[in-house]
Structure 1
Amino acid sequence: MVPDIETAEVIAFADDAERRILSSKERPIILLKKKKQLPEIIAPANKRIGVMLPYTPLHYILFYFLKKVLPKGSIPALIMTSANISEEPICITNEDAKERLNGITDFYLFHNRDILIRSDDTVGIMINGKFRMIRRSRGYVPKRIKLLYSTPAILAVGAELKNTICITKEKNAFVSQHIGDVSNLRSYNFFEETIEHMQKIMDCKAEAVVCDFHPDYLSTRWAINSGLPLIKVQHHHAHLASCMAEYGLDENVIGLILDGTGFGYDSTIWGGEILFGNYTQIERLFHLQKMPLPGGDAAVKEPWRTAIGFLYSCVPDYSVPEHLKEYPYENIHQMIEKNINTPYTSSAGRLFDAVAAIAGGPQKNNFEAEAAIHIMHAAVSVNIEEKYNYSLSKKENKEIKLGSIIAGIYDDVIQNVDYQIIAAKFHNTLISLFCNAVEVAAETKQVKKVVLSGGVFQNEILLAGIENELTYKGFEVFTHVKIPSNDGGISLGQAAVASKLISKNQQEVLFIN
């Protein structure tokens, strides 16, 4: 946090649009490009830093006294973090803070004005001249999103990570503030509090509930146990519908949906999908090749596992790269061969993890998507047009094979090609591959409208590259600006699908396999 725009531009670059949003009444955090004055310890291996301006009187008082004690020429900046342990909701009472932050906090600054409702800071980034929300919360909630159909009050309970809920009233959808990971008990309690609070402030009582397909999501279990009429919406269909709802679309579209995980119609883990459809009907046209996830959820936290799994599956008789030899790769081979705790996934998020780890990036994720973020920032400063070979079948319902891409990356690693070069070639490859796949899908279905959604589209290179290329090729491309592309937008998509189903007296979405 810095006291003003002038100070912000000492530590980061900001264009006119970024300056305008920084100083807006909403006061979000914006991820700005760093200047060299910042120590590397602040957001290491990241080309950007979150910057925000004061938005409460207390913030201004802090800077007033900070400027008095700082040596002349110092930068008046404060490193801020939310008052919570990772994955838990923020503290909102003095007593809660003393109990939960004991042992990690040196001093407390208390206030005699109580906080009624938790609301994290909104976080966003400018990509292609548009402000893209990564976390939609304080300042933007509960702004309405107009729906096409007026229905009884619908409660959509979202996904598991980055959870939000959505309540509809007449033709309006109201998406809640960021709740977080509801597998955490405190966050789950916050989830229940938010459901009650949103219905109270909107003066409505839910008459139907919508949830994700995943049977183990606590939000899904809550919906099932609510006693309300239940509608289930597949995860990636909800992503597609959320972007459609943002723009008031009500027609068939191509959906390029890229994320980390989502329970599919076939009970496998999806995440690299090209879909076709609308609110009430969906068809899976293409998906990334299903690859092993050795250890299941453990592989999400340890990309070295996915790296070994991808190499073992795509590069026959490969030699384990030196930086991966410290890990028990032979155990991973055995797990894959014997199908021991090794689900398969078409996830684009896991593809990023695997490639980052193969190329020499992070082998473990200390925070969500660390490896994917790392390889993106490695590619930002490299301007090349090279890409890896790939093949794409022009038939529907086909896997997009990854073998030649992974083999090309492996060859570069063995030849000691620079990590940044590999990162740039990988991004170039995905932009070309997905744009070609959309072209094939659109030619088959005779549509020119494309929606891009899913958490992988927080990758600034991928989003800008695909949006620009598809626009150049004559497509009308729709991308998120009002809600996040990640799972923070799932609840809106669920609500939009349910709204259309109810208006048509249709019981469930028609899936065309």
Structure 2
Amino acid sequence: MHTLPGARDTRRAARRVQVRIGGVVQGVGFRPFIYGLARQHGLSGYVLNDGDGVLAEIEGASLDGFLAALRAAPPPLARIERVDVRDIPPDGGKGFEIRETIHRPGHTRMATDAPPCPSCLQELFDPAGRFYLYPFISCTQCGPRLTITRALPFDRANTTMSAFSLCPDCRRDYQAPGNRRFHAETIACASCGPRLSASTDQIASALCDGAIVALKGVGGFHLYCDAGNEAAVRRLRVRKNRPAKPFATLVADLAAAGLVAIVDPLSRRMLERPERPIVLLARRTIVAPSVAPGLRQIGVMLPSAPIHHLLFHALAQEARRRGTSAPACLVATSANRAGMPLITDNGAAHAQLAGLADLIVTHDRDIENGLDDSVMTVIDRAPACLRRARGIVPAPIDLAEDGPPVLAVGAYLKATICIIRGREAFLSQHIGDLDSPQAIRRHADAIRRMTAFLGVVPLVVACDLHPDYPSSRYAQESGMPVLPVQHHLAHLAAVAAERIVRGPYLGLALDGHGHGHDGGNWGGELLHVDGSTWHRLGHLAPVPLPGGDRAAREPWRMGVAVLATLGRGDEAGRRFHTVPQAARLAGLVAGGAFPGTSSMGRLFDAAAALLGICVRQSHEAEAAMALEALATAPRGLVNGYRLNGGTLDFLPLLAALSQPGMDARTGADLFHGTVIAGLSALTASHAARLGVRTVLLAGGCLANRLLADGLAGALRNAGLNPIMPRSVPANDGGLSLGQAAWARLCLKDGTRAGIPGYERT
């Protein structure tokens, strides 16, 4: 026996203590860790899971050494947030054991799904081992967690693994203290565990033949094809009715990633993160053009599950058999059809994917909680999350202070929900757009599951100010007091919550649409926020919005609106000759038939339409992405904007872009440079007047790296401190956090804040 520095003399009388460990301590091998540590220090007692985390009673003479080691070297997936120790009477017991879980409500935390650990990967390809080529290999340090969890605490009986009884070999490993799978709740092997409906050899053969394969993974079904096979990629686009939206790609390792994209040290660290996110990188030409048509970036991810490693292993074997080269990269995209949520059920896969996939491969481990792939990029020289899902959820955001429990239900696009419990905000996985009954049901189901997991009874439910969103209707029908939060305020409140910004700040919220408190269509807003009060300082000059939501899908409408506003409506029919109704629409705009919008997203659409880059969009932000892809050296246009108090008018810029002979690439550079200059001038003028230096940046337009980087740099040059979101999406995927944080702030400030039915307790 040995003691660590500071431990008690082992010759002194033994003590007994009760130890309560909170945080991410279930499903990460914490009980086996405690067991081994207690045995190492010659201590007696027991350890178990319960509703609040891990509970242990420890007795012996070297408790200080045990407690020091507990804090110093926990299991890799664990996150210890508190260790509470209290003395209790000794009982003189011998030995140490792992006891059965105490099932009671509590506040334990759930671990995230984790990619295969190095030890499991080694076993996966060890012909002498019993886990050789087994696609569901896992241990206490890796494997599925949230995706298979039905209830907490995290015991096998509370997961979808309960359907699989352990074989003698797995039971022996589960009960052996020295084994890596000692009390591993996901343990399984080919004799007793989940099975694929087709072999990896069959999958590899189909992919090498140019087929499209639907494969059930950890969090849902994906569609795969050879990313180097242009015909296969085009066929996938036709079948999925996805003409231009870029596909993500899966590569075997970092070496393959370097063939597909430019991987610098920061990108490498992002690819290797435990979340195994899709990372947006500058593309090389090895992949088929149709993978990301017309774009300079491509989404790349490393394997996140054993099946991915086995796929590339089988592809290499199949290529050797055929005497060809193995695919270096696979398209990997969610298998749902347009407008439908992620598919997780075998029956739904066969019903919905027949005719889309040439081969549908399922397995018999149910997915309890569907998870898309997380998506990350680099913004302003640091990682930024664009979609918060697998590997990140359900890890909370630390708000640094306690507060009342709140539920927030998000908006319409990229919906998420958020629950605040204590000082932690739990932001759900990406649910998707609430444009189908299936998505609306999944949204409601996510609320039910998260409130049950967290054991929270919210005081209020926060939602978007728009009354007709399905999420807003859910809030109004929930029976709880409701706080509607203005869309762009919620964007900025999310950044403030994540980055723990106190005190007054300015905020630029740049997106496609948000319901203003005046009933208008907002989207390019400068707000001033101080405590639980806020007001609108400035905005983009309104431009007519012909067709409402249709304008977001048809950028030519914004082009016509600009021409008519410039007094050049007679050019509309010629400029947009493929659109029969363009000339008539120009007349309606000139007659004042349409309300205006201050949307930055629609400003991008107008520019793209006038430059002839995109007149119709097949997916959200297609025009803006195409415009960004053309820009290489943004530069401001002299007199390209007018700043009148709080109104920023880019009509001079749009007039220049609409001139005959304007080159699209030149126009893209002028657009980005002028928008950056105008926004920074608007912000700096009000910052100087108010004496505020902190500027928060949010909204879906920040996914544009040129805009975000340029704006951050310009604000710094003006002596301001720009702050962007990092672990929470800047787009609508982060709105629910902002809604929840704002509602909690209103409650803590002691005001009803317009919350019907809320009474302070």
Aligned to 1:296: 548
CA contact (8 A) 1:389 1:408 kept: no
Q: What secondary structure sits across from 1:81 in the alignment?
A: strand
Counterpart AA for 2:672: H
Q: 1:337 to 1:410 in 2, by over 3 A?
A: closer
Counterpart AA for 1:428: G
Aligned to 2:677: 432
Q: What secondary structure sits across from 2:402 in the alignment?
A: strand
Q: What secondary structure sits across from 2:527 in the alignment?
A: strand
Q: 1:100 and 1:285 mapped to 2: Cα distance? A: 48
Q: 1:331 aligns with which of 570, 584, 589?
A: 584
Aligned to 2:701: 456
Counterpart AA for 1:408: A
Say if 2:633 is the partner of 1:383: yes
Counterpart AA for 1:113: R
Displacement of 1:394: 5.5
Range with bigger deviation, 449-458 or 274-283: 274-283
CA contact (8 A) 1:241 1:279 kept: no
CA contact (8 A) 2:339 2:435 kept: no
Superposition map of 1:463-502 within 5 A: 463-502=708-747
Q: What secondary structure sits across from 1:88 in the alignment?
A: coil
Displacement of 1:339: 4.8
Any idea what the Cα deviations from partners look like across 1:200-229, whole Å, max 9, x if unmatched?
111212221001100111100110110101
CA contact (8 A) 1:183 1:217 kept: no
Any idea what the Cα deviations from partners look like across 1:363-397, whole Å, max 9, x if unmatched?
10001110010000010xx33635252344453xx
CA contact (8 A) 2:475 2:482 kept: yes
CA RMSD of aligned residues (A): 1.7
Aligned to 1:98: 350
Aligned to 1:25: 274
Counterpart AA for 1:458: A
Displacement of 1:315: 4.3
Aligned to 1:264: 516
Superposition map of 1:301-312 within 5 A: 301-312=553-564
Displacement of 1:36: 2.4
Displacement of 1:127: 2.4
Q: 2:671 and 2:573 mapped to 1: Cα distance? A: 18
CA contact (8 A) 1:146 1:173 kept: yes
Displacement of 1:431: 0.6
Superposition map of 1:17-416 within 5 A: 17-70=266-319, 71-316=323-568, 319-320=571-572, 322-327=574-579, 328-340=581-593, 342-379=594-631, 382-383=632-633, 385-393=635-643, 395=645, 398-411=646-659, 414=660, 416=661
Q: 1:388 and 1:294 mapped to 2: Cα distance? A: 29
Range with bigger deviation, 486-495 or 276-285: 276-285
Aligned to 1:10: 259
CA contact (8 A) 2:544 2:561 kept: yes
Displacement of 1:509: 7.5
Q: 1:483 to 1:147 in 2, by over 3 A?
A: same
Displacement of 1:90: 0.9
Counterpart AA for 2:738: G
Q: 1:278 and 1:43 mapped to 2: Cα distance? A: 42
Displacement of 1:289: 1.0
Q: What secondary structure sits across from 2:656 in the alignment?
A: helix
Displacement of 1:267: 0.2
Displacement of 1:148: 4.9
Displacement of 1:337: 4.0
Q: 2:686 aligns with which of 433, 441, 445?
A: 441
Q: 2:654 and 2:647 mapped to 1: Cα distance? A: 15
Q: What secondary structure sits across from 1:258 in the alignment?
A: strand
Displacement of 1:152: 2.8
Q: What secondary structure sits across from 1:168 in the alignment?
A: strand
Range with bigger deviation, 198-207 or 420-429: 198-207
CA contact (8 A) 2:260 2:329 kept: no
CA contact (8 A) 2:399 2:423 kept: yes
Range with bigger deviation, 215-224 or 120-129: 120-129
Displacement of 1:486: 0.3
CA contact (8 A) 1:315 1:407 kept: no
Displacement of 1:4: 0.3
Q: 2:379 and 2:490 mapped to 1: Cα distance? A: 23
Q: 1:321 and 1:426 mapped to 2: Cα distance? A: 24
Q: What secondary structure sits across from 1:41 in the alignment?
A: helix
CA contact (8 A) 1:241 1:278 kept: no
Any idea what the Cα deviations from partners look like across 1:427-460, whole Å, max 9, x if unmatched?
0000100011111010111100000000001100
Range with bigger deviation, 28-37 or 308-317: 308-317
Q: 1:305 and 1:394 mapped to 2: Cα distance? A: 26
Q: What is the identity percentage for the equivalent residue pairs of Structure 1 and Structure 2?
A: 35
CA contact (8 A) 1:286 1:399 kept: yes
Q: 2:324 and 2:356 mapped to 1: Cα distance? A: 31
Counterpart AA for 2:715: L
Displacement of 1:473: 2.2
Counterpart AA for 1:276: H
Counterpart AA for 2:273: S
Counterpart AA for 1:409: L
Q: 1:446 and 1:259 mapped to 2: Cα distance? A: 26
Displacement of 1:83: 1.8
Aligned to 1:508: 753
Any idea what the Cα deviations from partners look like across 1:34-74, whole Å, max 9, x if unmatched?
11223312210010111111111111111110111225544
Any idea what the Cα deviations from partners look like across 1:324-368, whole Å, max 9, x if unmatched?
12222222123324555x332100000001100110111100011
Displacement of 1:319: 2.6
CA contact (8 A) 1:167 1:173 kept: yes
Q: 1:190 and 1:58 mapped to 2: Cα distance? A: 26
CA contact (8 A) 2:569 2:586 kept: no
Range with bigger deviation, 424-433 or 308-317: 308-317
Counterpart AA for 1:289: A
Q: What secondary structure sits across from 1:108 in the alignment?
A: strand
Q: 1:18 and 1:241 mapped to 2: Cα distance? A: 28
Displacement of 1:269: 0.5
Segments of structure 2 that go 5 or more residues without pairing to the other structure are 1-249, 756-761
Counterpart AA for 1:37: I
Q: What secondary structure sits across from 1:495 in the alignment?
A: helix
Q: What secondary structure sits across from 2:519 in the alignment?
A: coil
Displacement of 1:105: 1.7
CA contact (8 A) 2:532 2:749 kept: no
CA contact (8 A) 2:637 2:673 kept: yes
Q: 1:177 and 1:432 mapped to 2: Cα distance? A: 35
Give the alignment's TM-score, normalised by structure 1. 0.94
Displacement of 1:25: 1.3
Q: 2:592 and 2:572 mapped to 1: Cα distance? A: 21
